Structure 1
């Protein structure tokens, strides 16, 4: 009998690419009626060394807005893969200054936008309602926003 291969949930998470997470987030927010703009690898070709994705160093991957937001207000989301995704130095500065959220899943993106709507827009929008509906837990401190 052949030996059965088993893969742990952590090993499966390591196979998920940033692009797949980003696609799920874009599709989810569009389905909830949000506007999405992006500066990520989907719109750019990599450099010869495989790097050089994105528009400008430190700029978030996704910008999320809604018709109910004040004019010119966008929530900035930096998408990382579930395992191994790290912020660049420039991204780290914006993250530490609370100018963007780091997310690694659709559920974290929902929480981040719900948090943004509460703190910046003083509004409970579709993201807040969907996050509550699915019953996703609050991300651990320091996961989507810096500690403190």
Structure 2
């Protein structure tokens, strides 16, 4: 019973984090790669066009994958890189709270890290990769105890 509750909680957490990333990605998408790259260039992010494309794809398509629980470690790595970049280049100088503070960036990055490294059984990663591994380990244990 508790495992099911935990899996649902992990799914709801992934949905919550992904919705916020998705919304920010759509803002960048609506602005366009050029405008996003221009903003990135203005604040000193290296390779601004590449960074803009990376962030837009990550925040839009990566968020869909994050909800589905697909390639979670890879999406998590992207989210963490995204949030470290936002903290260092934009929000860090504003302090933790207040206008432009880094509290949201910090929470999103750490929540993505926690949820992305343990997606639970309600994830495509579990269905595609972990379930087979667990079955293989269980059969190995049965063989060893026999």
Q: Which has the higher contact order (CA 8 A, sep 6+)?
A: 2
Q: Same fold, TM exceeding 0.5?
A: no
> What is the TM-score of this pair, normalised by structure 2?
0.34
**Is the helix fraction higher in 1 or 2?**
2
> What is the TM-score of this pair, normalised by structure 1?
0.33
